[in-house]
Amino acid sequence: MHDKTIAQLSAGLAAGKFSSAELVRALLERIERFNGTLNAFITVTADQALAQAQAADQRRAAGQGGPLTGIPIAHKDIFCTLGVKTSCGSRMLDNFIAPYNATVVEKFDAAGVVMLGKTNLDEFAMGSSTETSYYGPVRNPWDLDAVPGGSSGGSAAAVAACLAPGATGTDTGGSIRQPAALCGITGLKPTYGRVSRWGMIAYASSLDQGGAMARSAEDVALLLQIMAGFDPRDSTSAEQPVPDYGASLNDDIRDLTIGLPKEYFGEGLDADVARAIEDAIAEYRKLGATVKDISLPNAPLAIPAYYVIAPAECSSNLARFDGVRYGYRCAEPQDLLDLYTRSRGEGFGSEVKRRIMIGAYALSAGYYDAYYLKAQQIRRLISEDFRKAFTEVDVIMGPSSPTVAFNLGEKVDDPVTMYLSDIYTIAVNLAGLPGMSVPVGFAKGRPVGLQIIGDYFAEARLLNVAHRYQQASDWHTRVPAGF
Ligand code: GLN
């Protein structure tokens, strides 16, 4: 049962082949068996999951509910979950029990989806390897010496190891696509504003976007169908109708024009990763698509611009964790300043502190124009590059990550090398566009992900393009040995 897709499980539940309670019990057993090795979950909500499963079974028996009623998934531990610890991977929130559900969680609850637990992540979603988590690193099920990517590494590892058929993630600079690529699963970061950020703990508000991770594009479509939509509680939520993502999955792609940006295939791209990406593009040609070389001239500026904008926003967002209102408080503070400084000093890890300091510096009087304003100007140029590209092509393709999964500990002491993990994903966040990662093979025994970037609100097209590839290939059906 555990290696079935959400679509298959949904059909099984509808046909009465098994109950949600049976399915949930089977997955909880797997989590129990494998989480000690993988560390994919911070919290497992077994009792709540079984109660939700029984309620879902009753709903189905009464002829109610929808396609995902009774389907279990996991939530990245950045989404607030009522009555359940919501840690964001930080000591700062180790004692935080959320008093409400994020909109995304609320929507899944209403659809009868069962929550198995909360997945591990880089602290406050800052990282590309899930090694900055207060709860320790996650291991990649394809190779236990390797990182799963980050920051949604727990979600990616849980899905890849078949501990959950799907999971939520968030992507500020690549945190859905890069771990999806490194773990050989399918992930979608929607257009900025497509999915509500309400109750999703903020890292960099102008970049953060929630999305879905699963084993196939078809499953991601099912999850996005529930997550997407306008939310009056999120002022940046887009008032755009939500299309039927499943309806266009099988659309013909013979009229598709794919753009290959030369900046995504240059120096820094691992040769074996490049080969797998080229094979995938060749498959698209076989499916009838046209391929065109394009350029995104400002793409090389994405990382430096991001590492001004994201820390600037994080320094402001994380100011709320002061030891007063919620979160960690140091023992026996001497006075107010001591309370602030020791609570923050002890509650945050070093990567988070590095970014708060960079952000506070970049925003300070005298430096604001030189750094923050400049970065925002570059952001505009990057968006313009994409706008121009989409007048010529329908989608843009390239690697999701320049390398396959690296080893635990390999980059953790070298932040700049770590930052380069997102060299192909970050521009998409700066522009607010949707992007996917789809498994297209292996290099050095570790998975490779193809990135597919679309125009604003083109999620249906991306899912269609990914699905057609998955109809013609079986990379997405592979399960790591031992799981
Ligand atoms: N790795 C990038 C960072 O560290 C992106 C993280 C993310 O998308 N949340 O900021």
Q: Give me the residue spans of the domains in the chain.
A: 6-249
Quick one: 6-249 is in which CATH superfamily?
A: Amidase signature (AS) domain (3.90.1300.10)
Cβ–Cβ < 8 Å for 112, 72: no
Q: Assess whether pLDDT exceeds 90 at residue 385.
A: yes
Average pLDDT over residues 341-349: 98
Query: How many whole angstroms from 207 Cα to the centroid of ligand 1?
Result: 10
Query: How many whole angstroms from 393 Cα to the centroid of ligand 1?
Result: 27
Please name which of 118, 122, 112 lies closest in space to residue 178, comparing C-alpha atoms: 122
Average pLDDT over residues 21-46: 98
CB atoms within 10 A of CB 407: 13
Q: How confident is the model at residue 93 (pLDDT cuts 50, 70, 90)?
A: very high
Average pLDDT over residues 376-397: 98
Query: How many whole angstroms from 471 Cα to the centroid of ligand 1?
Result: 31
Please name which of 93, 90, 96, 97 lies closest in space to residue 126, comparing C-alpha atoms: 90
For residue 263, report the phi and psi dihedrals to the nearest 5 degrees.
-65, -15
pLDDT the model gives residue 104: 98
Show Cβ contacts of residue 257 under 8 Å, excluding neighbours closer than 6 positions.
Answer: 289, 290, 291, 292, 392, 393, 394, 395
Q: How confident is the model at residue 465 (pLDDT cuts 50, 70, 90)?
A: very high
Show Cβ contacts of residue 339 under 8 Å, excluding neighbours closer than 6 positions.
Answer: 322, 323, 324, 329, 330, 333
DSSP state, residue 118? E
CA-angle at 403, arms to 296 and 443, nearest 5° = 120
State whether the beta carbon of 359 lies less than 6 angstroms from ligand 1: no
CA distances from 373 to 135, 257, 385 (A): 36, 35, 19
Query: How many whole angstroms from 408 Cα to the centroid of ligand 1?
Result: 17
Cβ–Cβ < 8 Å for 273, 398: no
Strand positions, DSSP E, 287-394: 290-294
Give the three-state DSSP class for 333.
coil
State whether the beta carbon of 125 lies less than 6 angstroms from ligand 1: yes
Cβ–Cβ < 8 Å for 208, 197: yes
β-pair type (290-294, 395-399): unpaired
Mutate to test the pocket of ligand 1, among 78, 90, 175, 418 (most ligand atoms within 8 A of CB): 175
Residue 259 forms beta bridges with which residues? 292, 396
Angle, helices 103-110/217-227, rounded to nearest 10 degrees: 110
d(CA 220, CA 245): 9
- Going by CA atoms, what residue is nearest to atom 4 of ligand 1? 127
CA distances from 376 to 8, 55, 171, 270, 309 (A): 45, 48, 19, 30, 7
Please name which of 106, 131, 118, 104 lies closest in space to residue 41, comparing C-alpha atoms: 118
Q: What amino acid is encoded at 104 in this protein?
A: V
pLDDT per residue over 134-189, tens digit each? 999 999 999 999 999 999 999 999 999 999 999 999 999 999 999 999 999 999 99
Please name which of 187, 142, 147 lies closest in space to residue 437, comparing C-alpha atoms: 187
Which pTM was predicted? Answer: 0.98
Ligand 1 atom closest to residue 306's alpha carbon, by position in its atom list: 10
| Helix, strand, coil percent content, the chain, rounded in steps of 5 | 40, 15, 45
State whether the beta carbon of 174 lies less than 6 angstroms from ligand 1: yes
Q: Which two tokens stand for residue 203?
A: 């890292």
pLDDT per residue over 249-280, tens digit each? 999 999 999 999 999 999 999 999 999 999 99
Query: Does an H or E element contain 339, and which?
Result: helix 336-347
DSSP state, residue 93? G
pLDDT per residue over 278-314, tens digit each? 999 999 999 999 999 999 999 999 999 999 999 999 9
Q: Assess whether pLDDT exceeds 90 at residue 326.
A: no
d(CA 261, CA 398): 7
Q: Which two tokens stand for residue 475?
A: 């990379």
Q: What amino acid is encoded at 107 in this protein?
A: K
d(CA 167, CA 157): 10
Q: Catalytic positions, please?
A: 76, 151, 175
Radius of gyration of the chain (CA): 21
State whether the beta carbon of 201 lies less than 6 angstroms from ligand 1: no
d(CA 78, CA 120): 9
Mutate to test the pocket of ligand 1, among 309, 354, 422, 451 (most ligand atoms within 8 A of CB): 422
pLDDT the model gives residue 176: 98
pLDDT per residue over 99-127, tens digit each? 999 999 999 999 999 999 999 999 999 99
Show Cβ contacts of residue 421 under 8 Å, excluding neighbours closer than 6 positions.
Answer: 128, 129, 149, 174, 178, 401, 402, 403, 411
